Amino acid sequence: MRKFLERAIKKIPRMNNTQLSQLLMSFKDELVLKDMVMDSLTQGLLVSDKEDRIVYTNKALERLLPLHNGDHTDLLVWSVIKQSDVFQFVKETLYGHETVRDRIFMVNRDNRTIVLSISITPLVNKGQIHGNVILVADVTDAKEKEIKLKRAENLASLTTMAAGVAHEIKNPLGSMSIHIQLMNKLLNRDEFDRDKFENFLGIISDEVDRLNSIVVDYLFAVRPMNVELVESNINKTIEELIDFTKFELEESNISIELDLDNSINNIYIDSKFIKQAFLNIIKNAKQAMKNGGILKIRTVQEDNMVQVSIADNGIGMTTETQNKIFEPHFTTKETGSGLGLTLVYKIIKEHKGDISVVSQKGEGTVFNFIFPGIPGRDKVLLDWE
């Protein structure tokens, strides 16, 4: 269309009235087609100029976003938006010349609440910014399906964990019951054996501590986490954790190799939870290197994401074990609740991150973590031609 217009404009001085009329009709047909296409979109679309004034909106935008009535052309983008949180988001984003994708908002339309995803991207032609494009999508159905799936997964996980806890609790309760019976027998004897009694009492105390540990781990796994995300440099978090664990690792003949990328972006994390997750991985690595070894921790920037890897050269895992390690109460150890890596998985997911493991029996294990970058730090330009 653009090339056709450029050629037509050059020919205008040589056109007669009939040809000019035909050219105008062609323009009209193209504009009608464009409006039909734009108004047929299920996504809302708003185009603004460099002064943040509205150039174009389609019908879907007016249907999805709560807007003030009237003609919106040439008005400041945010001035036509009724809902305060959307108003503030659009204004701050356009003022800051940021690119933001898929920001979620709850909006009341036609007496029901819908979930909107709003993206703001620069409008670019031949490397020059001419304004902004705002896309608005109704993601209500997708979010409802996501919530239902998460509920089903949580219920299944809770059922599995409850069964595991019941199994774990049964052993210390059985031991306590046996030793209480033995203590009763001692009390009924003519000669009281104080040493045996105190020994049985100590065993019961240990089992109570074991029960308490099981319950604490279980509650931590099932309760919602109060994650407080703060913009942080994850290298600093790792260095603080290594300072805390260095002596214990060195006592076990484990050397530490840090390869931290100093150019990585800050990300949103809760340092205390990230330290807990990484500490669980380091403890597992220590147990996998009973005769000593090397613990390697690496950070690297991948596009707008930060990747952390924690590797050991310990005993490694089979493929079957790798497929089960994040399941509640799965463990290859003689003792332990089997919730350590489940908690790690939960912490990383609370940070909108991802975790994976690569391991080979006899050669070691690598845990890889991916954390999302801060929205707007990754500039994306939309070339509109």
Are residues 276 and 221 in contact, defined by beta-carbon separation less than 8 angstroms? no
The residues pairing with 76 across neighbouring beta strands, listed in sequence order, are 53
CA 118 – CA 357 distance, rounded (Å): 34
Are residues 286 and 252 in contact, defined by beta-carbon separation less than 8 angstroms? yes
Q: Which of 205, 212, 152 is nearest to 176 (CA)?
A: 205
Buried b (16+ CB within 10 A) or exposed e, 349-369: ebbebebebebeeeebbbbeb
Q: How far apart are the first and last CA of the chain?
A: 10
CA 223 – CA 269 distance, rounded (Å): 19
CA 161 – CA 21 distance, rounded (Å): 76
Q: Which of 51, 90, 49 is nearest to 67 (CA)?
A: 90
Residue 129 is predicted with a pLDDT of: 86
Q: Which residues contact 204 (CB under 8 A, 6 or more apart)?
A: 175, 176, 179, 180
Name the strand (E) or helix (H) holding 142.
helix 140-188
pTM: 0.51
Classify residue 246 as left (phi > 0), alpha (psi -120 to 50) or beta.
alpha
Are residues 308 and 298 in contact, defined by beta-carbon separation less than 8 angstroms? yes
Residue 178: C-alpha distances to residues 173, 188, 210, 211 (Å): 9, 16, 16, 16
Name the strand (E) or helix (H) holding 42.
none
Name the strand (E) or helix (H) holding 134.
strand 128-138
What tens-digit pLDDT sequence spans the chain (385 residues)? 555 556 666 667 777 777 777 767 776 766 666 777 777 788 899 999 999 999 988 888 888 888 988 888 899 999 999 999 999 999 999 988 888 888 999 888 877 788 999 999 998 887 888 899 999 999 988 887 877 777 776 667 667 667 767 767 887 888 889 989 988 888 888 788 888 888 989 999 888 888 887 777 777 666 667 888 899 999 999 999 999 999 999 999 999 999 999 989 899 999 999 999 999 999 989 989 989 999 999 999 987 889 999 999 998 888 888 877 777 666 666 555 567 788 888 899 889 899 999 988 888 999 999 999 876 555 444 444 4
Q: What Rg, from alpha-carbon coordinates, does the chain have?
A: 31
Are residues 125 and 47 in contact, defined by beta-carbon separation less than 8 angstroms? no
Residue position matching structure tokens 């590797």 = 311
The residues pairing with 122 across neighbouring beta strands, listed in sequence order, are 132
Residue 52: C-alpha distances to residues 43, 133, 202, 222, 360 (Å): 20, 10, 74, 47, 56
Cα angle for residues 127, 40, 60 (degrees, 5° grid) = 80
